[in-house]
Amino acid sequence: MTSSLPAQDRPILSETAGSPRKRLYIRTWGCQMNVYDSGRMADVLAPLGYGPAETPEEADMVILNTCHIREKASEKVFSDLGRLRLLKQEKEAAGQRMVLAVAGCVAQAEGAEITARAPWVDLVLGPQTYHRLPEMVARASRAAGAQIETDFPVEQKFDHLPDAQGQQGPVAFLTIQEGCDKFCSFCVVPYTRGAEFSRPAAAIVAEARRMVARGAREIALLGQNVNAWHGEAPDGSTWGLARLIHALAEIDGLARIRYTTSHPRDMDDALIRAHGTVPQLMPFLHLPVQSGSDKMLQAMNRGHEAELFFRLADRLREARPDLALSSDFIVGHPGETAEDHAATMRLVEKVGFALAYSFKYSPRPGTPAADQPFQVAETVKDERLQELQALLRRQQDDFNRACVGRECDVLMTGAGRHPGQVAGRTPWLQPIHAIGPEGLAGQVVRVRITAAHPNSLSATLLDEKELACA
C-alpha cells in the first residue's frame, strides 16, 4: 500500500509551445504516485492545446485525480463534484463548455456509482488508462454521456505516453512499478491498480536522464511495492531495485535518490547493501509495518512476523548508521485486542522512528477485512490511535532535536515562507529553512542545523559567502 499523504491541491502545469487554446486544472489527492500520474495526464493533454489553469473557474477541463486510501474518500469526491456541477452549469449558460473528469483509484473502484450519482461527469478513468485521455476527450466532444475507461489494458500505459516537457523542479517523482500482489486485508490497491508490473530498466533510466536534464537533482522512485521491482535489463536479463539504483547513480547531475513505498518482505540483501554503498541513496526509508502484533500481521495478510521488521531495522542501520526509518501503522484492525495494541507500542519503542503515518482502521468495500467479525469500537480505536500518535510524535521530536548542531547537505527547493528565507530538505526528508541568497533552488548546500520546530528545522548556511558570489 502506498502511504497516503496530504492532498496536493494545486494545478499540475504542462507548458506547450505557443499560447495554449484551452486551460486544464487537475486536483490531486493522495500519494506521490498520484502526483506523478497527474503530471503525466497534463503531458498527454498538452498536444491538444491544454495549458495550465490556476483555478477550476478558469479551466476548460477539470480532472479530479482521486485516492481510495483515506476514509470516506469517495464522499469527498462527490462533494467536490457537487460544487463543480454548479460551475459547469454557469459556463454552459455563458455558452462555454467545461469537460469534467474523475481519475484515479476512486474512479477505478466506483466508476458506475460516479456516473449514476453524478451524470454531469464526462470522463471516468482508472489509473491504468490515462494514456487514453485524448481519445476519451475526443469521444466526449462527439457524444453525450460519460466516457468510462476502467479496464486494466494489456498494453502498458507507459508505452503510450509522450515525453514530459518544460522545466522540472529540483525534486522529481518517477513511477517504476505499479500494482500489488500482496492482498493485505485492509487495502484496495490490488483492486484499483491491478497486478504488479515493473517497467523496463532502460525506460526508467531514460526518463530519469530527461528529468535531470530538465532540472531535477533528486528523484524519488515510486511504486505500490517499489522494492518488488524486477525489470527487464538492457541486456535482456532481470534487474532488482538495487541494480537499478546503481545505474541511476551514474547519471551526471543526479545528487539524490529515494524510493517509496516498500514492503518488508521485498527488502533483499542487495538493496540493504545499497544503502551503505550508494552515496546518492538518501539515509531515509519508508517501510510500512502496520502492526507489532504477529496475530494482527497474520490477520492483515502481511506475510511476515514482527521479528522480520526488527532484523531489517538492525541490518539497515548496520549498513548505513545514520539511516532514519519511517513507517505506517493501522490501529483497530478487526480482532485487535489490547495485547495486540501493546505489541505495536513495544515495536515502536524498540525500533524508533523519525516519522510515521498512523490511522484508524476503516472498512474498504470489497476488501477481506471489511466483512470480518470482531470489528473494534470507534471509541477504542480513538484511544489507541491517540496513544500511538503521542509516542510517534515524541520520537519525531526527539529525532529532530538530536539533529541540532549537526552539519549536513541540504537540497534547496526554493524560497522560504518569509522574506530572505530559502527552503529545502535534509537527507532525512525534514523541511529546513535558512536565511540565504535567492537562486539556490536545485543546489546542494552545506548547513548547520540550529533549531528544531514542530514540523521543520532552522539552519545556517556554512558557505554563504561562496553562494552569494556564485
User: Residue positions in the annotated binding site?
Assistant: 31, 67, 105, 180, 184, 187
In degrees and rounded to multiples of 5, residue 256 shows phi and psi of: -140, 145
* Residue keyed to cell 538493496: 271
Rounded to an integer, what distance in angstroms lies between the CA atom of residue 102 and that of residue 68?
13
Sign for the CA dihedral angle at 297, 303, 307, 310 comes to negative
Q: What is the DSSP string of 148-181?
A: EE----SS-GGGGPPPP-S---SEEEEE-EE--S
Rounded to an integer, what distance in angstroms lies between the CA atom of residue 246 and that of residue 274?
8
Sign for the CA dihedral angle at 69, 71, 75, 81 comes to negative
Q: Which residues of 47-61 are buried (b: 16+ CB within 10 A; e: fewer)?
A: ebebbbbeebeebbb
Q: What grid cell was written down for 191?
A: 483492486
Structural contact between residues 360 and 382, judged by C-beta atoms closer than 8 angstroms: yes
The amino acid at residue 429 is L
Sign for the CA dihedral angle at 320, 326, 332, 334 comes to negative
Beta strand extents in 320-430 (DSSP E only): 324-331, 355-360, 407-415, 421-425
SS3 state of residue 368:
helix
Q: Which helix (H) or strand (E) holds 469?
A: helix 464-469
Count how many residues are written for the chain.
470
SS3 state of residue 87:
helix
User: Which residue ranges are tagged as binding site for [4Fe-4S] cluster?
Assistant: 31, 67, 105, 180, 184, 187
**CA 317 from centre of chain:** 24
**CA 173 from centre of chain:** 8
For 433, which DSSP code?
E
Q: What is the DSSP string of 35-60?
A: HHHHHHHHHHHGGGTEEE-SSGGG-S
